[in-house]
Structure 1
Amino acid sequence: MPALPAVTQPVPVRRRQIIALFVLTLVASTAPAQQDRPNWDAQRARMVESAIIEAGVSDPRVIAAMRATRRHEFVPLAQRRLAYADMALPIGASQTISPPFVVAYMTEQLEPKPTDKVLEIGTGSGYQAAVLSPLVRDVYTIEIVPSLGKRAAKTLRRLDYENVHARIGDGYEGWPEAAPFDKIIVTCSPENPPPKLVEQLAEGGRMVIPLGERFQQELCLLKKVNGELVRESLRGTLFVPMTGAAEERREVLPDPANPAIINGDFSEVAEEGEEPRPAGWHYLRQAEIDPSARGDNPAIVFSNKEPGLPCQALQGFAIDGRKVKRLRVGFTAKGEGLRFGQRPSQLPYVVVTYYDERRVWLGDEVIGPLRGTFDWTEREEVLPVPAGAREAGLRIGLLGGVGKLWVDDVRFGRARD
């Protein structure tokens, strides 16, 4: 297949060097350079401006809570340097702390009021409960993993979150003795709404919850009206699965021996508020569907004028590195004025990111970068898979770069020997 024009070819560089640049870029986009002693307040203020306000969160009470909540206190020491990057981070036991934008967005959709009694399913690190604490009367939070639940409760006590009540248990069953709840927020994903949580939601209450298959989820708002649930899809997302009883009831399981993504041609469109978005893709930034990008064929288009701003779309998938040694990844792209952002590593790439069974990052493999101006061009490569990989994510976009990039016909699958 035709290669990209010479102007789009990178100076030869080891992929591990590119990986390191990606990590540094992500940190630098939300945090100023650290001195001997990190200025957490400055980093947090910058994160709120760039990753929360600029991304569309507008509730002043939620913004104030995000400014006041010290995320670094809830992040393990090994990950603390990344505390104010807008990214999920491992916290142990195969769980993660959600990106700050996701926490702020879900909190805003909950419409918290000072009189609310809120139930949180999936305490994790305790960060979401801490953000909710100044916004509501009481927070009841449940964690199924004892080590995480004990650590989070200790952190919340140490930081004087007196209206947060924590327990260890299966969130699928809720907290019946404290019910009903005005609001319920679920930070792990079952396939369907747990019946006990529906029962424990007060009339007129709101529940924000990710629902769906393991790697194809929708963040949903459920409202209880006359005893019935009214469901509204908010946006595509990707959360860790709800374990315990919810996992036992899961009907659709991914096949890690045959990794796949969906909607690579961007023809399936879902509504996200007033804006259409490509079904199956999540964490979109400065991306939209161009319905006639290639005649009658749609494509996703990324556009960014401010160097360093996030501009991307992601999709997760299951993979078993013991069974899949290589992935074949291809796509068709068109570029207009593509150039790097705040630093040379901020350029359009197609990136596959691998994680082990504990959701610890194993590394990236990349195709690109894409640079300059060029007409529709095909690109395909075979990428190696680490033996320890159990999950992965596909990321496309400008990734901090500047210009306009159209992507279509993303082809993806196991490379046969």
Structure 2
Amino acid sequence: MQASDTHIYKAQRQILANNLKTKGITDKRVLEAIRQVPRHAFMDERYIRFAYQDDAFPIAAGQTISQPYTVAFQTQLLDIQKDDKVLEIGTGSGYQCAVLLEITSSVFSIERQEILYESAFKRLKELGYSPHLRYGDGHEGWPEEAPFDKILITAAAHEIPPRLLEQLTIGGKLVMPVGGANTQKMTLVEKISDTESIFSEHGGFVFVPLLKGKV
């Protein structure tokens, strides 16, 4: 049973949001999302007391719940608007998905680990969020729902999967950590046309790898 929300947790989220602001998160929508989403509800029971520290923690299937700064940084890079249709690759705990849903109501999220898919589905529903979730291979995206205005990948690879770029609308943005196992560059892709995109790098990060398939 996850801990219920309390005034203490809400105060800790306010402190966390202020901390992220000092680190360069300036998008007011992102900071407000951090204040609203009960991160402790997405944590393994062993780590709930650390929920509002700016750190990553283990979850099931050898994965992690990302550091709040990383969640906020990726979200800020995407510059999500309230009517944007967003695709997230790697639902994980569901925390990043909830942050996205505080900004736009149209979020499609794919998770390849069945245990994470099931727990995120249950948790998000209990908290009143209504994303479109799929258990599947993130490399393939969600072609029947494409195109997407924004695409967020929460795992690393040496290159951006071509199928995902194909599903990004012209004028849309994609954010993904690109690189090897030890460090990656947070990469922003701005799609100019069907054949041209602008790539830019925004600092070093460390993410779990983006894996193919569902098993």
Is 2:160 aligned against 1:189? no
Report the count of equivalent residues: 207
TM-score, normalized by length of structure 1?
Answer: 0.49
Give a deviation string over 1:129-164, Cα, whole Å, max 9, x none: 1001021130000000000010001001001112x1
Match of 1:128 in 2: 96
- Whether 1:198 and 2:165 are equivalent positions in the alignment is yes
The percentage of counterpart residues that share the same residue type is 43
Deviation at 1:47, TM superposition (A): 1.3
127, 135, 147: which one pairs with 1:168? Answer: 135
- In the alignment, what sits opposite 2:75? 107
Cα offsets for 1:64-111 (capped at 9, x unmatched): 111111100111111111111101100111100000011011101100
Distance 2:102 2:52 in 1: 20
Partner of 1:62: 30
In the alignment, what sits opposite 1:48? 17
CA shift at 1:38, angstroms? 8.2
Which has the larger share of helix? 2
2:53 aligned partner: 85
Q: Where does structure 2 lack aligned partners over 5 or more consecutive residues?
A: 1-5
In 2, the alpha carbon distance for the partners of 1:190 and 1:82 equals: 29
Instruction: Please name the residue that 2:127 is paired with.
Output: 159
Task: Tell me which amino acid in the other structure corresponds to 1:205.
Answer: G
AA in 1 matched with 2:90:
G
Alpha-carbon separation, structure 2, partners of 1:137 and 1:157: 14
CA distance in 1 between partners of 2:13 and 2:67 (Å): 13
Q: Report how far residue 43 of structure 1 moved.
A: 1.3
- After superposition, the CA RMSD in angstroms is 1.2
SS of 2:102's equivalent in the other structure is helix
Distance (Å, rounded) in 1 between the aligned partners of 2:13 and 2:105: 25
Match of 1:238 among 168, 192, 206: 206
Name 1:72's counterpart in structure 2.
Answer: 40
Bigger strand share: 1
Instruction: Tell me how far 1:216 sits from its aligned partner.
Output: 2.6
- The letter of the residue matching 2:156 is S
Instruction: Write the distance in 1 (CA, Å) between the matches of 2:50 and 2:33.
Output: 20
TM-superposition CA deviations, 1:16-45 (whole Å, max 9, x none): xxxxxxxxxxxxxxxxxxxxx882111111
Find the aligned partners of 2:171 and 2:143 in 1 and give their Cα distance.
Answer: 18
SS in 2 for 1:234: strand
In the alignment, structure 1 residue 98 sits paired with structure 2 residue 66 = yes
Which amino acid is the alignment partner of residue 174 of structure 1?
G
In the alignment, structure 1 residue 208 sits paired with structure 2 residue 163 = no
SS of 1:93's partner is helix
- Residue 47 of structure 1 aligns with an amino acid whose one-letter code is L
Using the alignment, how far apart are the partners of 2:48 and 2:105 within structure 1? 30
